[in-house]
Structure 1
Amino acid sequence: MKLFRPSILIIAISALSLFGFIAWANWAELDQIARAQGEVIPVGRIQLLQSSEGGVITEILVREGDEVEEGELLMRLDDVKPAAGVEETRAATAALTATVARLRAEAFDQPLVFPPEVEAYPEFAANQRQLYAKRRQALREQVSTLRSQLSLAEEELALNEPLVDSGDVAAVDVIRMQRQVADLRGQIVNAENEYFREVQTELSSAQEELVAAQQQLAQRVDVLEDTEIYAPVAGIVKNIRLTTIGGVLQPGDEIMQIVPTEDELIVEAKVSPVDVAFVNLGQEASIRFDAYDSSIYGRGRGEVVFISPDTLSEKGPSGQEVVYYRVHLKLDTSSMRTRYRGETIELQPGMTATADILTGENTVFAYLTKPITKTVEDSLGER
């Protein structure tokens, strides 16, 4: 009886091991991930405060790191010139408002009543009342004169018409008198019509000027209001650009940033265009925060809640253009652990992180054979 030689035994064991490994590799699965660098941000994003009109800084009420409430005053700019512009335009608007009120009263034959904003300028109201009375009096006097002439003409006509039949008055004279009566009646109508026509023309012009003045006033009020900078949200003051009283802000200059404290924090990750086709809403992610050693604190969990519809680009560390998709991950840090009792995991906007987004699963065998399969596919496609 012959014994198995050691080489045969080794081959058999190796073959069995190989087949066993292949079987295991086809059964065992590994997670497929899309890895992306990211940053912790508030859902409402960091609020960038800018100066729309610019100006000279007269007061700075906060410092970097201060916690502020929504609507809290942060900075004041010099308001002398904007305030003067507002007062000048407000006065011009009040004058035009008084003019429009007077012309409307004339046009619709109504008593003259001024809106409340005119009452602050009694001289404007007095001038328009005087002009209202003067113009109406002039019309009344003109019409009264014509009516007196008409009355005399009608009386003369009434006396002479019966004398035509007796031949004491020529018919042509009566016709002349009738024409004079008709002419005077027409002059009265024309005088009133001309008056109201002129009033309507003046009213239309004054209303256009008033609308323009009101728009200018609104713009200047906005400029004046912009001399006081308020916090749009509750948060932490960051990156105050100018800290010098008397410093000059140019229009559009950044003043400071407010990092919201009441907003939920998320991770904004930059996913490569190569991986984005496999990233979908609702997918889970494992998140490693650079501020917390994952070997000590573990990892946080995340869920994909937003994928940008198009790519964005920015300059990389070496100056090259980096193209990526913006992906937002909802955070859950309950899986992270602390080193000692009482320690808490506190995330802050600006912390950097690495997100491993679970995009699927694949067998170990597929991972091992992927380079070979890809090479063969590429080779078969060549000419």
Structure 2
Amino acid sequence: MLNISLNSVNRHVDHEGLSALKHVEERHSGRVLLRLLLFFSVLFIVLLFLPWTQHIRANGDVTTLQPNQRPQSVQTVIGGQIERWYVREGAYVQAGDTILHLTETKDEYFDTSLLDRTRQQVMAKEMSVRSYESKVGALNQQMAALRESGRLKTEQARNKVKQAILKVSSDSINLEATRQNTKIVRDQYERMEQLYAQGLKSLTDLENRRAKIQEAEAKLIEAENKLLTSRNEVLNARVELNAIQAKLRDDLAKASSDQYTALSGQFDAEAGVAKLENQFSNYQRRTDLYFLTAPQSGYVTQILSAGIGEALKAGQEVITIVPEDYELAVEIYVKPIDLPLVELGLEVMIQFDGWPAIVFSGWPNTSYGTYKGRVVAVDRVINTNGMYRIMVAPDPEDQAWPEPLRVGAGATSLLLLKDVPIWYEIWRKINGFPADLYSPVTAAKDDKNPPKIKLPK
């Protein structure tokens, strides 16, 4: 009975006989309720002043810290036909192990003796180069011999010119002497003629003088002829000297032309040798590429082209290899509005898919099953999904990440920010304000010179 009516029945009821009613009426429930309300109010006020860690929740996947440690596809460099497989999915391969054997599919490489024939062509071209070199050497010797022979002939012709000039001088002197002698003989004949007219000399003496003057005039003419002949010999000697020099120049020009022709042939042959050597190296390298090898040690995870006899194109993906050793990291994506709050070195709490965890987002130290990390990279360009990618590496000062963790596993991350009272966080959430801008001790102060973050080995 609530006993709220004005018509009370208490005076008509015998309480001594009703013990249960007596016990209920004697309870002080109102006081207890008041005390409970007071206690929980005080507790709620105290809780409002407890610290709360602001955070940014982001999802991502497990990846590797170094790009060369991520799963990679092995591609064929040349096209070919699958002849034999040497591995299977899940197999472990060392760097350089043979994965696949290809056979040729292009008709220009079908010749089984292609390398030998190409090497023979190279040797033949090299012999041609040596032949041209010998010809060039012979022409050099020929030109040297022509220069020496021309020098000797030129000296001989010059000497001949000098001799002719000297002979002209000698004939000139002889002609002058003959003229003087002729003049004397003529004077003597005139005096003899005067004496003959005076009767002092006989006709015989006069005729003798006439014969001598004729003889002297004949010698004069002969001396003049010799001088003309000597002068002609000088001209002939000079013409011969010019002819020798012209012939020497002509012979040297011809030999030089032959030499340049030989050099041109030599250069062409050397270019042919280089081209054939390049072709031989390409053939040899192509032969090596028939065997596809592992670029690094790791495990075969997926074979993309498995059929024997299947034709592959150049650059086609054949197999996927996961490296043996790798450093794990987590790539997460945050909204553009949260990007200003992210700094290098920011602490991150990570929960991996498949690992049980109890997470108290506001009190990360009380969480169970989470692992710590540090922000090591922040993309400067937004992704196609409209979010920014962040790389998180393990914190070397905290426990190691799980050993069975694999690349591609999902991860939920909490990027830990500033510690604030709970009442402030509630007030911020109600008003829709963003988290406080917070820079950790290890955060970068200079984008161009970020601090070095110690990464796990």
Regarding TM over 0.5, the answer is yes
Residue 324 of structure 1 is matched in structure 2 by 387
Residue 163 of structure 1 is matched in structure 2 by 164
Residue 178 of structure 1: CA displacement? 1.6
Partners of 1:89 and 1:335 lie apart in 2 by 59
Residue 231 of structure 1: CA displacement? 1.6
Question: Which of residues 56, 69, 89 in structure 2 aligns to 1:64?
Answer: 89
**Percent same amino acid at aligned positions?**
21
Where does 1:134-283 land on structure 2 (aligned, <5 Å)? Answer: 136-137=137-138, 155=156, 158-159=159-160, 161-164=162-165, 165=168, 166=171, 167=227, 168-170=230-232, 171-206=234-269, 219-283=282-346
RMSD over equivalenced CA pairs, Å: 4.2
Q: Given that residues 34 and 279 in structure 1 are in contact (C-alpha distance below 8 angstroms), is that contact kept between their aligned partners in structure 2?
A: no
**SS of 1:285's equivalent?**
strand
Question: Which of residues 50, 56, 76 in structure 1 aligns to 2:101?
Answer: 76
Partners of 2:338 and 2:116 lie apart in 1 by 60
Go from structure 1 to structure 2 and tell me whether the alpha carbon gap of 1:241 and 1:357 turns closer, same or farther (over 3 Å shift). Answer: same
**SS of 1:187's equivalent?**
helix
Residue 30 of structure 1: CA displacement? 1.7
Residue 62 of structure 1: CA displacement? 0.9
Question: Which whole-Å deviations, capped at 9, do the CAs of 1:181-236 have from their partners, x for residues lacking one?
Answer: 22133234424433443344445555555555555555555444333222222111
| Matched residue type, 1:42 | T
Partners of 1:136 and 1:245 lie apart in 2 by 59
Residue 356 of structure 1: CA displacement? 1.7
| Matched residue type, 1:41 | T
2:60 is aligned with 1:38: yes
**SS of 1:39's equivalent?**
strand
| Matched residue type, 1:163 | A
**SS of 1:323's equivalent?**
coil
Partners of 1:20 and 1:288 lie apart in 2 by 31
Partners of 1:217 and 1:275 lie apart in 2 by 59
2:371 is aligned with 1:300: yes
Per residue, is there more helix in 1 or in 2? 2
Partners of 1:142 and 1:193 lie apart in 2 by 8
Partners of 2:127 and 2:162 lie apart in 1 by 52
Where does 1:353-368 land on structure 2 (aligned, <5 Å)? Answer: 353-368=411-426
Count of residue correspondences = 329
Partners of 2:410 and 2:284 lie apart in 1 by 42
Partners of 2:354 and 2:261 lie apart in 1 by 78
**SS of 2:163's equivalent?**
helix
Q: Given that residues 146 and 188 in structure 1 are in contact (C-alpha distance below 8 angstroms), is that contact kept between their aligned partners in structure 2?
A: no
Go from structure 1 to structure 2 and tell me whether the alpha carbon gap of 1:142 and 1:372 turns closer, same or farther (over 3 Å shift). Answer: closer
Where does 1:48-63 land on structure 2 (aligned, <5 Å)? Answer: 48-63=73-88
Q: Given that residues 288 and 354 in structure 1 are in contact (C-alpha distance below 8 angstroms), is that contact kept between their aligned partners in structure 2?
A: yes
> Larger C-alpha radius of gyration, 1 or 2?
2
Structure 1 stretch displaced more, 286-295 or 12-21: 12-21
Go from structure 1 to structure 2 and tell me whether the alpha carbon gap of 1:220 and 1:291 turns closer, same or farther (over 3 Å shift). Answer: farther
Go from structure 1 to structure 2 and tell me whether the alpha carbon gap of 1:35 and 1:83 turns closer, same or farther (over 3 Å shift). Answer: farther
Residue 324 of structure 1: CA displacement? 2.7
Go from structure 1 to structure 2 and tell me whether the alpha carbon gap of 1:309 and 1:23 turns closer, same or farther (over 3 Å shift). Answer: same
Q: Given that residues 143 and 191 in structure 1 are in contact (C-alpha distance below 8 angstroms), is that contact kept between their aligned partners in structure 2?
A: no
Residue 139 of structure 1: CA displacement? 6.5
- In the superposition, the TM-score normalised over structure 1's length comes to 0.69
**SS of 1:275's equivalent?**
helix
In structure 1, the gaps of 5 or more residues are 1-6, 97-120, 314-321, 338-343, 376-383
| Matched residue type, 1:53 | I
Go from structure 1 to structure 2 and tell me whether the alpha carbon gap of 1:84 and 1:289 turns closer, same or farther (over 3 Å shift). Answer: same
Residue 67 of structure 1: CA displacement? 1.4
Partners of 2:73 and 2:302 lie apart in 1 by 10
Residue 156 of structure 1: CA displacement? 5.5
Q: Given that residues 394 and 400 in structure 2 are in contact (C-alpha distance below 8 angstroms), is that contact kept between their aligned partners in structure 1?
A: no
Residue 237 of structure 1: CA displacement? 0.6
Residue 109 of structure 1 is matched in structure 2 by none
Go from structure 1 to structure 2 and tell me whether the alpha carbon gap of 1:306 and 1:16 turns closer, same or farther (over 3 Å shift). Answer: same
2:50 is aligned with 1:28: yes
Residue 349 of structure 2 is matched in structure 1 by 286
- In the superposition, the TM-score normalised over structure 2's length comes to 0.59
| Matched residue type, 1:368 | I
Q: Given that residues 271 and 325 in structure 1 are in contact (C-alpha distance below 8 angstroms), is that contact kept between their aligned partners in structure 2?
A: yes
Question: Which whole-Å deviations, capped at 9, do the CAs of 1:216-269 have from their partners, x for residues lacking one?
Answer: 555555444333222222111112101111112222221111111212222222
Structure 1 stretch displaced more, 157-166 or 137-146: 137-146
Q: Given that residues 54 and 416 in structure 2 are in contact (C-alpha distance below 8 angstroms), is that contact kept between their aligned partners in structure 1?
A: yes
Go from structure 1 to structure 2 and tell me whether the alpha carbon gap of 1:153 and 1:282 turns closer, same or farther (over 3 Å shift). Answer: closer
In structure 2, the gaps of 5 or more residues are 1-29, 172-226, 360-367, 434-457
Go from structure 1 to structure 2 and tell me whether the alpha carbon gap of 1:172 and 1:54 turns closer, same or farther (over 3 Å shift). Answer: same
Per residue, is there more strand in 1 or in 2? 1
Q: Given that residues 136 and 259 in structure 2 are in contact (C-alpha distance below 8 angstroms), is that contact kept between their aligned partners in structure 1?
A: no
